[in-house]
Structure formats: structure tokens, C-alpha cells
Amino acid sequence: MPRHESPDRPSQLNAPAPSAIEDALRAEPVAWPELRFDNSYARLPAAFHTRLAAAPLPAPRLVAVSRPALDLAGIDPARVGTPEFVDVFAGNRVPLGAEPLAAVYSGHQFGVWAGQLGDGRALLLGELAAAGGNQEIQLKGSGRTPYSRGADGRAVLRSSIREFLCSEAMAGLGIPTTRALAIVASDLPVIRETVETAAVVTRMAPSFLRFGSFEHFYATGQVDELRRLADYLIAKFRPELAGEPDPYLALLGDVVRRTAALVARWQSVGFCHGVMNTDNMSVLGLTIDYGPFGFLDGFDFNHVCNHSDHAGRYSYAMQPRIAEWNCWCLGQALMPLVAECGDSPDEAKSVLGQWGALFDEALQPALRDKLGLAQPDSGDAALIDDLFGLLHAGRVDFTLFFRRLAAVRTAPAARAGTTPRVAATSWPIARRSTPGSRAIESGWRSRRATTTSAPRR
């Protein structure tokens, strides 16, 4: 049911005047010949979104641009810094062909059903038909929408910079993620714990569809819309599934596999998402919605990067279990479609039950790479478990440990029938201060000395 929205003080302070929004709607569209929009999500019926303009950002200024993201979108670099460029990515003007909208979705937040949510401070400008694949362009911090639930719809410069840097860093690490194209800032005051200033960060992804997009139509009993959304996703992004006896069960399996692989990559680099609600989970297996994220410093299995997560639901150690739980929520949402194809809940449970094996299958190679182990060995899982226990006990810096481990020299593999030699280069953990370190070091050196080729990057 729709929630009653009472304007609170921050909303009134930060909301633009109605005349400013009307001016933005009347403004001449910005025509960039290299941009060709193919707004497939906008072609879905009104139940999926609300069309509206961004709230104008006063006196905008460009803060940052990602050249790789710019190239991915197919935007001419010569436009960077021009008044038109700043206005477009501030939300003050609309590119020709764009159809701005806010998407509706629902979700579980901290394990509790939260009901209808939606893009409360983001607008999907449209979908660019780029040479490297279509990219949806979304403005985050572009003002209030019907889904703002009383909030002001703005983003602050501090968090926008964090999202920009981490999005592009994750892409550089080869971890599936939404991208960040630009940040535009303003001196507009925004009330948070203190008074901060506003910003709009432009995000890109092939799609911003979430687990919660499907949960929404399941929870509201809109099975036709649920089917329409699933068919849209399959036709556009997973056409190979269309020929399966049950394409919706196959879709669930695809999302489970991609999510397991994604979270395995998170664990391998010490990334903590911070708020793994189902509305923050991408059905394409992308890292999405960078909020209170963080990376491990001193290794702690139970590290929590979100100060509002008092129970530690989204701690580093819990991330795989929560991702699996979220997949079960998606499975529940897809059950009406699975049933239409003649499959039972047992078939869906069987697909979801593959999570653990899929996660381990993705995690072990990623960790072997970090340890310089080119080939798998039956003892690797125990070695990795012991090593992580050692890092946890000593609160060893996670990133620096592996960076320094890369500098530890080991001798080439021994010839058949001879004993492997290992170089005595310094081990990154003090042996005296951390019990068990010497035995784990010896085990790693022995494994490293027998590897026959360099690990894949």
C-alpha cells in the first residue's frame, strides 16, 4: 500500500521550487550526434516506473570524469567540461532521445520485508546503444521521486566520491560492477548528520534490475507484470535461456551462479558491501548500490562496515550466506512462473541448493591466484582455511599481506625425484607474534615451490 509522505524539514530545505522543475522540462534537449538511445525499459508499461524530470542542481560544477566509462558509453571526450556536459549530468538538461524515469521495486531490508521501495533519489535517463553493448545511464542524487518515502532525493559529495572511486576500482579489479561516469557538485546544502553539499553521480550498467524488482510484482500479486519482467530480462540479456523447458527456472539458476561468482570475488579482495538488501542485489550479477561499503584492513571475519548494522547481518563472514538467502527470496518471487511451466518448488530448491558448490567453485581459484598456486591440490582448502584463521588471529592487514606475499621469492619447481628448494625471503607475518605462522608458511612455500607455471592474473 502507498505510504503517506509528510514533508520533513530536510525535504523542504532541499526540494527545488516547482517552477525550476517546469523550466527543466521545457528546456531544449541537448543533441549529441554520437548518442543513440534505445530505451527498452521505458517501453515497459506504467506499472514498472514513473516518468519525471530531475530536480535541477543550482550552479553545478564538474568534479570528476572516468575516461574508461566515457569510452564505454561512446561519449565524445571533447564534450567533457562544456556547459552542456555539466548540465546533462547535473540533471538540468535532458539529452535528445532520453526518457527519464524512476523505477519501482520492493525488497527485504535487514531480513525484514520492507514493501514498496523504488528509485528514491535516482533517475534512469535512458539506455545508450553503445558499440560495446547498451548501457543504462542513471543519475543518483537527482531529487525526489514518488518513491522517496519522505527523503530529500539528494546525494552528498562525500558519498558520491566514494561511489565513483570504488565503482571504477572494482572494474579495474575485474569484478562485475556498475560503472561511474561523472560527478557534478553544487553548493546546495543537504542535511545529513551535519550540513553537507549536494552532488549527482552518473552511474552506468547494462541494467539496474534488482532481485527486488521481481519481489515487487510477486508481493503485489501482479503475475502478468512479473512474467513481463522476466521475459524482458531473458530476451534482452539471457536469450539462450528462452529455449529451456522452464526458462524461469533456468533464469533462477543463472542468477544463483552469477551471484555466487560475484560474492566469491568480493571475499577474495576483502570487499564488504555493507547493505545486502534484496533491493541492492543485481540480477545480472553486478556489484550495485555503493553505500556504507568498505575493504578489510586488519583481517576480521566479523568486520562490519555499516555502523547501522548493529547485529552484524552484513559482516564480511556473513556475505556468502546472505547472498544465498537473497537468492531464495528471488526464487520465491519466481515461483508463480516456475509453476506455470509445470515445475514444483522442489525443482527450485534443487537449483538454489547448488549455491554452496558454486560459491566454493568460484572462491577457491580466486584465492589460489592470490597465493600464487597455479594448479589445484587436495590440500588447498585446508591451507587457505588455516591461513585465514592466522590472519584473523593476528588482525593482519588483508591487502598488504597479499601484496607483500607477491614479493616473497620461491625457488623454481624441483626436478622429478628431487626435493623442492624454497627461498628464505621474509614471510609477511611475524612468526613470533602469531602462533602457527611458521607451519602455515612452510606449507605455502612447499606448495608454491611445486607450481609449474605462473597463475592467471
CA-CA distance, 379 to 369, in Å (whole number)? 15
H-only helix segments in 151-210: 157-172
Output phi, psi for 189, to 5 deg: -70, 140
Q: Residue 279 catalytic? A: yes
**Cell output for 347:** 525443482
CA-CA distance, 415 to 425, in Å (whole number)? 21
Among residues 279, 289, 309, 343, the one annotated as catalytic is 279
**Cell output for 16:** 527545488
Question: Residues 170, 287: contact at Cβ < 8 Å?
Answer: yes
For residue 454, the tally of other CB atoms under 10 A from its CB is 8
253, with CB counted inside 10 A (0-12, 13-18, 19+), is: buried
Question: Residues 85, 70: contact at Cβ < 8 Å?
Answer: no
For residue 73, the tally of other CB atoms under 10 A from its CB is 21
Question: Residues 431, 437: contact at Cβ < 8 Å?
Answer: yes
CA-CA distance, 329 to 325, in Å (whole number)? 7
The amino acid sitting at 160 is S
Planar angle of CA 70, 74, 76, nearest 5 degrees: 75
CA-CA distance, 283 to 303, in Å (whole number)? 26
Question: Residues 317, 385: contact at Cβ < 8 Å?
Answer: no
The amino acid sitting at 39 is N
* Residue of 66, 101, 62, 53 whose CA lies nearest to 84: 62
CA-CA distance, 237 to 206, in Å (whole number)? 9
For residue 344, the tally of other CB atoms under 10 A from its CB is 11
Q: At what angle do helices 223-237 and 247-269 cross, to 10 degrees?
A: 70
So which residues are the catalytic ones? 279
